[in-house]
Structure 1
């Protein structure tokens, strides 16, 4: 199983005073981008360039091309190189493995990276299919892929071969949407830099796919001091799950035997209070999903109660409740609330 991504970042349009915009797709801004990327990648040895062409499985290429063309937008920022050099460094945490640590103070709302995928492969690959796709990659791509860690826990990932285990541990399952937002299936994508960011049940960053560039973008959802570990949430819907449920989900999908985030490693009494808050959020979210009624005041009160519980939980981002309608309603509520403040 792969990490899921629930929200898409819409392309932004900059002010008229910026340089003339250029139209870009995820494989580069010019016809020669692919060739130059391959040459530069070979020279770099262990890094991908801003114009890197992802390794795409042949049967996914028409779908991926359709998604990019449907969402293609004007990119007027011209910051490819800056956004592929994120403001973090990778450090070892002993038994926890390695993770990304802020190399400087990071402000809330800052976009930390916009990374193109190393590879775009179908989900549910067989061992032979994964091997063929891996062997079709360049030596630089293969090296970057195999440098990624695989989990060694007791979940189903442990039984996978080295290639599929690394893809499952580090990949995201990305919905392929047409221009109307309708799903055309999903593909597993690996972003080698973003893969260094560990999971937390109260993350200080959030990730989303930008369909106009087919890049994964990571944003800070709170101010992050230098030397603080960066974290994202690997699975959607975990805000309504107890610690035991989250632990089981992470073991099933990634092979983690335990979640070592601040919430899950808290004292038993604190963990019990966290579980109680998340159970209440689940009850409220289900009332929206299954009827909810037309009482506008009651719905607003429910959204406010969810926000209060999130504040108590220390959850700074926009949670995924596992329901697109409630996700939209809460996003609007949070936006209006922030404007009033």
Structure 2
């Protein structure tokens, strides 16, 4: 079943589905919640607060899928309270119940619906469409048959929303745009009983603790007390220095002013800093072009190392 898609996003999301359609038999399907390799239970954060987290019920290998889930709704960003409540009324009974079962730590003036959207929603970057799929959108002059293409949308995945954030997450997530499924997979081996954590937003690897705290408070209305944010003294200062340097390299490469040897040297330095930081996932940076190039560089290095071992 497709999620409830807000009317303003419907044409774009449906065009994304069509443009990503595939006959591949390996397309993932939504996993059975009763077979999820984790259980929900209360936990005390390093900051002393109590929260519900997802804990592995068995050993999980690196790269192994943990949960695959379709969103219950896809809504535009920057919604007003009354707009969110109107969209909520259009959802199925099952979807409404699932949304209302989620936590709400937002200010009371947002209400029950928008508060849960703010607390649990994923701000997802929406893929660009090829020209043959983009004809329903207005151009830069505002001319055309429909809405200006959205760059982001808010997705709610009720099961995945139960997983806590960490700035040193041990799991990551990706969306299959052919069926709007998000899969969470382990980025490092997980032991039975270990909490599964994800990163709620991108580019945090470029941010100091103070910057991360501000972003997470503004977007998700909580103060992070993860392993990284709980550092003190020189350990915290060293972490902040590493992340500042990663940011400087990303900004420099994104500016387009670096020659190829300098870019490759920058990627190598970023990889070293990210490893020293203890960040296990494949990072997303503030510039998508840098992210894509870095991921290609990582794969190139892995292939070269594998060929040298043979």
Tell me the TM-score normalised to structure 1 length. 0.77
1:177 matches 2:142: no
- Tell me which stretches of 4 or more aligned residues in structure 1 moved more than 6 Å: none
In 1: Cα distance, 2:183 partner to 2:251 partner: 30
Q: 1:140 aligns with which of 75, 79, 94?
A: 94
Alignment correspondent of 2:144: none
Secondary structure of the structure 1 residue equivalent to 2:182: strand
1:248 matches 2:202: no
Native 8 Å contact 1:205 1:230 kept in 2: yes
In 2: Cα distance, 1:81 partner to 1:238 partner: 28
Q: 2:2 aligns with which of 39, 49, 53?
A: 53
Alignment correspondent of 1:286: 251
1:269 matches 2:234: yes
In 2: Cα distance, 1:72 partner to 1:330 partner: 27
In 1: Cα distance, 2:247 partner to 2:6 partner: 38
> Aligned ranges for residues 197-208 of structure 1 at < 5 Å?
197-208=163-174
In 1: Cα distance, 2:27 partner to 2:294 partner: 33
Q: 2:188 aligns with which of 219, 222, 238?
A: 222
RMSD of Structure 2 on Structure 1 (CA): 2.1
> Aligned ranges for residues 1-341 of structure 1 at < 5 Å?
52-77=1-26, 80=29, 82=31, 85-94=35-44, 95-151=49-105, 157=107, 159-180=109-130, 184-185=149-150, 186-256=152-222, 258-294=223-259, 296-339=260-303, 340-341=305-306
Unaligned runs of at least 5 residues, structure 2:
135-147
Unaligned runs of at least 5 residues, structure 1:
1-51
In 2: Cα distance, 1:261 partner to 1:162 partner: 27
Deviations 1:247-286 (A, max 9, x none): 0111111111x21110111232211110011111112222
Flag the 1:289–1:59 CA change in 2: closer, same or farther, 3 A: closer
Deviations 1:143-187 (A, max 9, x none): 2111101225xxxx5541111010111111233335439893132
Flag the 1:110–1:180 CA change in 2: closer, same or farther, 3 A: farther
Secondary structure of the structure 2 residue equivalent to 1:74: coil
Flag the 1:67–1:307 CA change in 2: closer, same or farther, 3 A: same
Deviation at 1:292, TM superposition (A): 3.6
In 2: Cα distance, 1:221 partner to 1:292 partner: 33
Native 8 Å contact 1:289 1:326 kept in 2: yes
In 1: Cα distance, 2:30 partner to 2:272 partner: 40
